[in-house]
Chains A and B, each alone.
Chain A
Amino acid sequence: MGTLRVTDLTVEFVSGGYKVTPFRDLSFVAEDGQLAVLLGPSGCGKTTLLSCLAGLLTPTRGKITFDDLDVTQLRGAALSAYRRRTVGVVFQAFNLIPSLTARANVMVPLRISGVGRTGAGERADQLLRDVDLGERGGHRPGQLSGGQQQRVAIARALAQDPPLVIADEPTAHLDYIQVEGILRLIRQIAAPGRLVVVATHDDRITQLADQVIELVPHAASLQREPVDVELEAGQVLFRQGDPSDLVYVVRSGEVVIYRERADGSEEPLDVVTPGRYFGELGPMMNLPRSASARAVSRAQLVGYSVREFRASMRAASDQHDPLPR
């Protein structure tokens, strides 16, 4: 019961005229009662993934199932019912309705689902007591601290007693005192009958997690021997949106760096000639490739891990050599 299964999930969308792939072929499983943490830097697709889990975004490829329910196949009323009853969402910026009291905010999903005013009010009171805000139900969000607002948001997410709760950077706007309370609360609600998935770039939360899913491998911390790569003319080394791992130095031949536009055309950015390097920012920043690389002519390259690349750079600098060898 309450098993979330993500299989070969890929999302592509267009931004600024370019095709963006936040993640490709992502797979993981999270079980009922777990606190699963999606860990990754900003821009790695955490929010996109949560949107897919919440039934707000349809992935380009792949499958999301929650128990026997294929979320990616839901449409119309079935999708609305999934959003209302199966999944509760805690937003990064709380996103409480500013004109409503804390109590009324918690009542919103219940009222949308057709629960009567009295029943919704009683449930909201109970939930606010559960998050230690029983006395603050009559306050508007503007009269509450950030931590209190996030507690109200958690109470709202729990209003329908959903078996899946997802939280997007729930501690991002909080000071360390408030963070402690919210983490304790999130840990508490991840109990049998409910799976909690938290997306964050804050690895402190991983200490509390039952499972940590790293969306981007820590390429910057990897250490491996340099790799020799030979490319035939026209052969693609990597594509825009691919995970970043190595920094490449061109030994011979030429490599064109280009962006793939949404309309299928290409925008050349640079032609890298022998002695020059490319692709360093992706692995350093733990970001997917922001452009593609393809050999213009037969080319020989050396691929370095970030650590090796830095070491080579330092050595080259000491020898007044502008490039690593």
Chain B
Amino acid sequence: MIVITLADLRYRYRQFLIAVLGGGVVLAMAILLSGLANGFRTEINATVGAVGADRWVMSEKSNGRVASVATFDQAAVQQIAGEPGVRAADPVVMLPQEVLRVGGRQVTVNVLAVRPGGLGSPRPGSGSALTGGGQLVLDRRAHVPLGSAVTLGTTALHVVGTVSGRTLTAGIPLAYMTLADAQAALLGGQPVVTAVVTTGVPTAVPAGLAMFTPGQVEAHSLTTLASGVSSINKSRTMMWVVAAIIIAALVYVSALQRVRDFAVLKALGSSSAALFGSLCLQAVLVTLLAAAFGTVLSFFLTGVFNQPLSVPTSAYATLPLVALVVGVAASLVALRRATSADPVAAFGG
């Protein structure tokens, strides 16, 4: 029966090819949606992790979200640094979705102000690190070249270095600058910060502040995107369903075209189970081919999206399994055609 199944695939390769292409494109979209959903998590993890802190001390009002603008007095840095168990403590200001002016162009960035050389200070892939005021290190996704003059509010800055993979909130690039510049440009010169990051673990924090592990910061930050991630995941599920429908339609049409063949095979002694197995095998093979095509296609389509995509390995690893399930489910629609084929129908013209 396997020989007949494979021969039929070769014989009707054009229509199977259409199913593989159609199903493959849909599966590629499902893979990319997995990457989109996972991208929110990975960019937060990368940005928070790159700070290298053991603890984040933030306003209680921040709810532990990295992009919270809940500020508190910078004097808390000294208090926290003096706590037993703290090896180093540095202030941080995170201000989401600020606008840089680069010539006539506006670039939306997430500002992360740090102490040059302190915790969270970036290590540029090209250019130099922050050393003082008037400097800016930008993520490459901002597409602003090294040495460019930019303004933030009324503060003039120069891009001295670039980093990659430092984004937040769906691919908005980070702009690193000194604490003083950020306070001057965006906080009216007030000596306030949005977080104090530490190595070592403080035994206590000042009143009104709360302490979070990096993992907690990542998790709390992701909750603000939960609705979007959920929608994307639902869309991905719908993509699986669409892929299943495409494959099912193909298998059903194939079964309709093979009704006479089924009748003949039954007349020759084949069982209904064997015929269903043949349909099932066809569906699974087509789905696996579609999955393989979708995987390759997804690599090429990754660059189309501005938002960083991070397709989890599990998405690729489970794809053959999902393809198997989709294939079997798709072949169920043709089950009746195979099992109800009347061998008497083989007679007659």
Contacts and interface: CB of A to CB of B under 8 A. Distances in A.
- Of B7, B264, B271, B349, the most chain A CB neighbours within 10 A belong to B264
* Smallest CB-CB A-B distances: 7 pairs: A99-B11, A84-B269, A99-B7, A99-B8, A95-B264, A47-B347, A56-B343
Question: What DSSP secondary structure best describes chain B's contact surface?
Answer: helix
Nearest to A168: B347
Contact of A57 (B1, B268, B344, B348): B344
B267 A54 contact: yes
Contacts of B261: 97-98
Interface in A95-140: 95, 97-100, 104, 108-109, 111-113, 140
B87 interface: no
Contacts of A83: 267-269
Nearest to B10: A99
A308 B264 CA distance: 46
B12 A99 contact: yes
A95 B1 CA distance: 17
Given A95-B346, A112-B270, A169-B349, 5 more contacts: A56-B343, A91-B347, A97-B265, A109-B269, A156-B268
B158 interface: no
24 contacts: A47-B344, A51-B344, A56-B344, A56-B347, A83-B269, A89-B268, A89-B346, A91-B264, A91-B346, A93-B349, A95-B263, A95-B264, A97-B4, A97-B7, A98-B11, A99-B11, A100-B3, A100-B4, A104-B4, A108-B265, A108-B268, A112-B269, A169-B349, A173-B349
Contacts of A89: 267-268, 346
A112 B265 contact: yes
A197 interface: no
B220 interface: no
Nearest to B268: A109
Interface string A59-88: 000000000000000000000110110000
Interface in A31-62: 47, 50-51, 54, 56-57
B260 interface: yes
Interface of A: 47, 50-51, 54, 56-57, 80-81, 83-84, 89, 91-93, 95, 97-100, 104, 108-109, 111-113, 140, 156, 168-169, 172-173
A91 B260 CA distance: 12
Contacts of A172: 349
B79 to A, nearest CB: 80
Range for the number of chain B residues in contact with chain A: 20 to 34
Interface in B234-268: 260-261, 263-265, 267-268
A50 B10 CA distance: 34
Nearest to B260: A95
A9 B348 CA distance: 21
B345 to A, nearest CB: 9
- Of B3, B263, B268, the most chain A CB neighbours within 10 A belong to B268
A112 B268 contact: yes
Contacts of B11: 98-99, 140
Contacts of A111: 1, 3
B348 A47 contact: yes
Contacts of B268: 83-84, 89, 108-109, 112, 156
A241 to B, nearest CB: 19
Contacts of A47: 344, 347-348
A100 B258 CA distance: 13
A97 B269 contact: no
Nearest to A50: B347
Contacts of B269: 80-81, 83-84, 109, 112-113
A112 B11 CA distance: 21
A156 B12 CA distance: 23
Contacts of A81: 269
A160 to B, nearest CB: 9
Nearest to A94: B264
Contacts of B1: 111-112
